[in-house]
Structure 1
Amino acid sequence: MMGEICGGSLGKVFTKAKPYVLMVGLQFGLAGTFIFSMASINHGMNRFVFIVYRNAIAAFALAPFAFIFERKLRPKMTICVFLQIMALGFLEPVLDQGFTFIGMQYTSASFASAIMNAVPSVTFVLAVILRLERVKIKEVRSQAKVVGTLVTFAGALLMTLYKGPIIKLFYSGNTRQHQDEGSQSPHTHWLVGTLYLLLGCLAWSSFYILQSITVKKYPAELSLSSLICLSGALQGTAVALVVERHPTAWSVGWDYRIFAPLYTGIVSSGIAYYVQGLVMQSRGPVFVTAFNPLCMIIVAVLGSFLLAEQIHLGSVIGGIIIAVGLYSVVWGKGKDYSDLAPPPTTKETQQQLPITTVDISRMDTDEKASTK
C-alpha cells in the first residue's frame, strides 16, 4: 500500500516536471544550432543550401520512427492539414531559418540567440490577436503578461541600439565580414542584421501559433515533424536553386559543412519539432517559448570561446531585461494553466451509489422475463 502511494506521488511529480525537463534539455540542443550554423557559414557554406540539407536530414531521420511508432495512431490526411503543413514548412524551415542566418552574418550568434528571446512576446501578441490567449486587464495575471511583453520589446530595442563593449575575450571574427562588405559602417550592418532577425522572430512565432493549431487536428507528433521538415526541404530547394546556381555551392566535406547540417537537422529540426509539439498539446505555444533565455546564456558563453565573438554591454543588459519580461509573461501563463487543472478527487466522488432493494427486485424480474 505504501509503495503504491509513493509510486503514485512520484508519477505525479514526473508528470508535472516532464514539460520543464523537456524544454530545458531542448535549449541545450538549440544552443548548438547557433554555434554550428555560424561556424558552417563562416567556413563558406551557402545558407540556402544549409537549410535544404538540414531539413532533408531531419525528415529522413524522423520518418522511420514515425512509420513504426505512429502507424496505428496517424490520423487521415486532409486538404486543410496538408496546406497547414506546407505553410509550416515555409514559415520556419524557409523564412525563419533564412532570415536568422542572414541576420547572424551581419551581427553574431550570441546576439541572434538573444534577439530570439522576443519570440515569446511576439507569440503572445499573435495569440491574443487570434484569440488563442485571453486577456482581462483587471486580473493580475493578464497585467503580468502585458507588462512582460512590453519589457521584452524594450530589452530587444536596447540590444539593438547600444553595442558598447563590456569585455573582449577574443578578437571578433565578425569584423572580417564588416570589412569585406566595404562601403557601409558596422552600425548600419548591425541594424540591417537586427531587422532580419526580427523578421525571423515573426516567422518563428507564426510557426508556433500554426503548429499549436495543426497538432490538434493531426495529433501524431513524429509524423507531423517529419512532414514539416520534408515540406521545408522541398520548398528550400526551390529557393536555393533560384538564388544559388553554382553547383559547387552544394558540395560538402568532412568539416562543419557536413557536421552542422547533421546536428541541426536531427536535433534542432527533427527532435525540436517533436518535443515542441508534445509539450504544446498540454501547455500551449507561449509556454514552449518561455525557455529561450537559457539558450541565450549558453550561446553567449560558447560563442565567446568557440567563435571568438565579442560580448557587448547592451546585449547583457538587454538580455537580462528580456529575461525578466519573459518570465513575467510565463508567470501569468502559469496562473492560467493552474486554473484549468481538474479539481482533486475526494472520497465522496469516488464512492458508488449503493444497490437498493428496488434495483434487486427489478433485476430478478428481468431475469425471470428473459427465462420465459
Structure 2
Amino acid sequence: MGNQTPCEKLYLGLKKVKPYLAMVSLQFGYAGMYIITMVSLKHGMSHYILAVYRHVVATIVIAPFAFVLERKIRPKLTLPIFLRIMALGFLEPVLDQNLYYLGMKYTSATFASATVNALPAITFIMALIFRLETVNFKKLHSAAKVVGTVITVTGAMAMTLYKGPIIDFIRSHGAAHRGTTSNASGNQHWLTGTLMLLGSCCGWAGFFILQSFTLKKYPAELSLTALICMTGMVEGAAVSLVMERDMNAWKLGFDSRLLAAAYSGVVCSGIAYYVQGVVIRKKGPVFVTSFSPLCMIITAALGSIVLSEQIHLGSIIGAILIVFGLYTVVWGKSKDSISSSTMELTNEKGGPQDQLPIQDSSKLSSANFANSTPGPDDGMSKQIPPKIYNH
C-alpha cells in the first residue's frame, strides 16, 4: 500500500468519490426533470399523456439492455408474478406520476420536490404495517426511526397548512407583479394539489413495498424494470384515452413536450434505475436515500431562477423539518443495519461453531478411551494393544 504510484492513488481516490458524484449528478437530473415537466405542463401538455410518453421512452431504452444482459439469468414469468408486475405498473407509472404531475401543476415545482421528502417516512410506516420493519423503543437508533417519521410528517403538514409571507431570495419585480394576479386562483387549488402530492407519495411507497416482494420471486432488476415500464405504458394509455378525448393532445412537436417526455424517460426512468442499482450494491439504500433533500434545494434554486416561483415561509419551515426528520430516519436505519450485521458476525463467530468442536472433542476423547481400554466382554479390544496406533 505504501508503494503506490500517484496515478494509482488518484484512481483509488476517484473510485471512492464515484458513488458521491453519481448521486449528486442524479439529484441534478431529478431537479431538471421537475423544471422541464413544469414548463411542459404550463404549455398545455396533459400529464396523463406525459406519463405515457415517458414510459414509452423508458421501455425503448431499458428493454434492449434487459434482453441482452439478463437473457441467461431471467427467471420464468408466471401468472402470479405477472399480476404483481401489473400492480407495479399501476402504482408508480399511472397512479404516482399522474397524481404527482397534477399536484405539481396545482402548486409549484419547488413545493412538489419538497413534498417528495416525505416518501421515506411513508415507506417506513407501510413497512411496519407489512412487517418488513421492526421497532424496539429500548434502543436509541430504533426509536429515532419513529421520531424522524413523526417530524417528517409534521413538516409535510406545516407546508400544507401554513404558507406565510413570500421570501424573495432573488428579487424580481415582474415575477411579483405576475404573482398577485395568479395567487387568487392558485390558493384555491393549493390544498387539493398538496393532497394529490401526498397520495403520490403513498403510491410510490406502495410501489417500493410490492417491488421488494416481487424481486424475491423475480430477481432480474433490468427485466423487471422493463416489464414495469411496458405495463405502465399500456395501463397509462388506457387511462389517458378515457381522460383525454381530444386526439390532438397526443401530438408532439420539437418543443418542451417532446423534451419533457424524452428527458424524464431517459434520465429519470432509465439512467436513474441503473445508477441507483449500482450505488445500492456498493453503499446500500440508506446512502442513496440520504441525498434526496439535495434535490429540493436544487429545485428551489432553479424554480426561482427559471420559473420565477415564489417561495413562502411555510415552505421553508416545513422543508427544514422534513430534512431533519429524514436524516433522523436515515441515521436510525444506518445504526439498525450495523447492529444487525454485528449480530450476524457474533452468531457466526460465537455460535454453534465454537461449541461443536468442544462437544466433538469430548466425544472423541471418550470414544478413544473406550476403544483403548479393554472391556470385560469385548474380546477384540483385548487383542489389539494401544501401541498399534503409534505406527
TM range (shorter): 0.7 to 0.9
Q: Distance in 2 between matches of 1:70 and 1:8?
A: 33
Deviation at 1:186, TM superposition (A): 3.4
Instruction: Give the direction of change, closer, same or farther, for the CA distance of 1:100–1:11 in structure 2 (3 Å limit).
Output: same
The offset of 1:283, in angstroms, is: 7.2
Task: Give the aligned partner of residue 366 of structure 1.
Answer: none
Kindly indicate whether the alpha-carbon contact (under 8 Å) linking 2:110 and 2:303 is maintained by their aligned counterparts in 1: yes
Residue 64 of structure 1 is matched in structure 2 by 64
Whole-angstrom CA distance in 2 between matches of 1:8 and 1:77: 45
How far the C-alpha of 1:272 sits from its partner, in A, is: 2.4
Q: In structure 2, how many angstroms separate the alpha carbons of the residues matched to 1:63 and 1:102?
A: 28
Look up the match of 1:266: 266
CA contact (8 A) 1:27 1:292 kept: yes
Does 1:247 pair with 2:208?
no
**Any conservation in 1 of the 2:55–2:229 contact (CA below 8 Å)?**
yes
Shift of 1:161: 1.8
Aligned positions, number: 342
Q: Which runs of 5+ in 1 are unaligned?
A: 180-184, 350-372
Deviations 1:271-306 (A, max 9, x none): 223444555668776664443211101110111111
Which amino acid counterpart does residue 264 of structure 1 have in structure 2? S
Alignment of 1:71-150 (within 5 A): 71-150=71-150
Q: Secondary structure of the equivalent of 1:102?
A: helix
Q: Which blocks of at least 5 consecutive residues in structure 2 are unaligned? A: 354-391
3-state DSSP of counterpart to 2:308: coil
Contact kept in structure 2, 1:211 and 1:277, CA below 8 Å: no
Q: Tell me the secondary structure at the aligned position of residue 291 of structure 2.
A: helix
Per-residue deviation, residues 58-116 of structure 1 (Å, max 9, x unmatched): 01111111112222122222222212211111111111110011111111000000011
Higher deviation after alignment, 27-36 or 260-269 = 27-36
Aligned partners of 1:106 and 1:174 also within 8 Å: no
Matches within 5 A, 1:1-372: 22-163=22-163, 164-167=165-168, 169-170=171-172, 171=175, 186-277=186-277, 288-341=288-341, 343=345
Cα distance, 1:149 vs. partner? 0.5
Mark the CA change 1:121 to 1:12 in structure 2 (over 3 Å): closer, same or farther: farther
Residues 289 and 330, structure 2, Cα contact 8 Å, conserved in 1: no
Task: Tell me if structure 1 keeps the 8 A contact 2:142–2:336.
Answer: no
C-alpha change, 1:7 and 1:213, in structure 2 (3 Å) is: farther
CA contact (8 A) 1:226 1:270 kept: no
Provide the rounded CA distance (Å) in 1 between the counterparts of 2:67 and 2:333. Answer: 35
1:226 Cα deviation (Å)? 1.3
Could you tell me how far apart the structure 1 residues matched to 2:179 and 2:124 are? 33
In 1, are the aligned partners of 2:286 and 2:334 still within 8 Å (CA)? no
Worse-matched range after superposition: 278-287 or 95-104: 278-287
Distance 1:264 1:160 in 2: 27
Deviations 1:152-204 (A, max 9, x none): 1111111112222111644167777666xxxxx53331111101111001111
Contact 1:225 1:274 in 2 (8 A): no
The 3-state SS of whatever aligns with 1:233 is helix
Indicate conservation of the 8 Å contact 1:107/1:174, yes or no. no
| SS state at 1:114 partner | helix
Q: Once structures 1 and 2 are overlaid, which stretch shifts more, 88-97 or 279-288?
A: 279-288
User: Which SS does the other structure have where 1:77 is aligned?
Assistant: coil
CA RMSD of aligned residues (A): 3.2
Letter in 2 for 1:135: V
Deviation of 1:3 after TM superposition, in Å, equals 6.4
Cα distance change, pair 25–210 in 1 and its aligned pair in 2 (3 A) = farther
1:26-70 CA deviation, whole Å, 9 max, x = no partner?
A: 222211121111011111111111110001100111111111222
Mean alpha-carbon deviation: is it higher for 141-150 or for 10-19?
10-19
CA 287–232 in structure 1, closer or farther in 2 if over 3 Å, else same: farther
Query: d(CA) in 1 for partners of 2:171 and 2:208?
Result: 36
DSSP 3-state at the match of 2:265: helix
Distance in 2, Cα, partners of 1:202 & 1:59: 24
Residues 86 and 245 of structure 1, relative CA distance in 2, 3 Å threshold? same
Is residue 290–residue 330 contact of structure 2 (8 Å, CA) maintained in 1?
yes
TM-score when normalising by structure 2: 0.79
